[in-house]
Amino acid sequence: MNGSEQIKGFEDPLFSRVRKSSGIEGEAKAESRATKNIVGLIVLVAALCALAYYVFEAQQRIDQLNVSLIASQSQLSSVTQDLGSSQEKIKTLETGLSGSQSKLRVQAGQLNHYKGLYTELKSEQTQQSHELESMSIEKANQSEVDALKEETAHLKVEATEVKQQVGQAHSEIGQVREMSTRNRSDIENNREGLTQVSEKASSTAGELSAFKKSLEREYYNFELQEKTGIMKVFGVYLRMKDIDFRRQRYELEIRVGRKRIKRKDQYLNEPIYFYVEGTQKPYEIVVTKLTKEFAVGYLSVPKS
C-alpha cells in the first residue's frame, strides 16, 4: 500500500465528530420548525373554532331578538283590537243611555199630564159635592140629587184610575232611572277599561320602539396604513402598528377617553368589542381587508 492509499484510508476523528454534530443540529432545527408549524396550526384551528362559536352565538341572539319583536308586534295588534271593541261597546251604551233619557222625558210629560188631569177631576168633584150639599139644603129634586151622586161616584172611579196611572208612571220612571244609572255605571267601567287598554297599548308601543332602537347602530368606515400615525374615527383614535399579510393578522392600538387598548395577532373579520364611558352598549371594530400596506374596516357604534 502506497502513501496515497494510506492517506485516503485515514479519517480524522475530529472531522468525523464535526460532521456528526452538524447532522444532529440540522435534524433538531427541522424538528423545531415542525413543532412550530404544528403549534401555529393548532392556534389557527382554535381561533377558527372560537370565531365559529361567536358567529353561532350572535346568530342565536339575533333569532331571539326577532322572536321577541314578532311577539311584541302581535301583542300590540291584540291590544289595538281590544281598544276598538271597547270603543264600539261604549258607543252602544251611549246610544242606550240616550234612548233611556228620551223615554224618561216622555214619562215625565205623561206624569205631568196625569197630575193636571187629577187636579182638574178633584176640583170638579169638590164643585159637585158643594152643589149636592146646596141642593140638599134647598130640598132640590131627588132625581137631580141622585144624578149628582152618580156623577160624583163616576168621578171618584176616574180619580182612582188616574191615581193608578200616576203610580204606574212613577214605577216606570223609577225603572228608567235605575236602568239609566246602570248604563252610566257600565259606561264609567268601560271608560276605565278603555283607559287601561290605552295605557297598555302606549306602554307596549313604547317598549317596541325602545327594542327597535336598541338594535340600531351606526357604521363608520376607515382605512389605516401601517405605522403612519393615528386616525380619529367618531371620537375613537386608531393606530395600525403592524400587519402580517401572509398570516392575515394585525396589531391595532385603540384610544378612547383615558383608555388605551392593544390587540396583537388579531384575525381578519374578528370583531373587537370595547365600552366607552357613558354608554351601555359596546363599540365594535372589524377589519375586513388586509394588504401589505393598509387595513380596511369599520367602526360600529350604538345609535343615540
In this prediction, residue 113 carries a pLDDT of 82
In tens, the pLDDT along 237-262 reads 999 999 999 999 999 999 998 899 99
Q: Identify the bridge partners of residue 295 per DSSP, sorted by sequence position.
A: 224, 290
Judge contact between 222 and 204, C-beta under 8 A.
Answer: no
Report how far apart the first and last C-alpha atoms of the chain are (Å, whole number).
99
- Out of 16-30, 51-65, 78-92, 264-278, pick the least confident: 16-30
Judge contact between 248 and 267, C-beta under 8 A.
Answer: yes
Give yes or no for residue 13 having a pLDDT over 60: no
Give the residue, 258 or 27, on which the prediction is more confident: 258
Judge contact between 51 and 270, C-beta under 8 A.
Answer: yes
**pLDDT bucket at 33, cuts 50 / 70 / 90:** confident
In tens, the pLDDT along 40-51 reads 889 888 878 877
Average pLDDT over residues 152-175: 76
Residue 159 makes CB contacts below 8 A (sequence gap 6+) with 118, 121, 122, 125
In this prediction, residue 248 carries a pLDDT of 95
**pLDDT bucket at 203, cuts 50 / 70 / 90:** confident
**pLDDT bucket at 7, cuts 50 / 70 / 90:** very low
In this prediction, residue 15 carries a pLDDT of 46
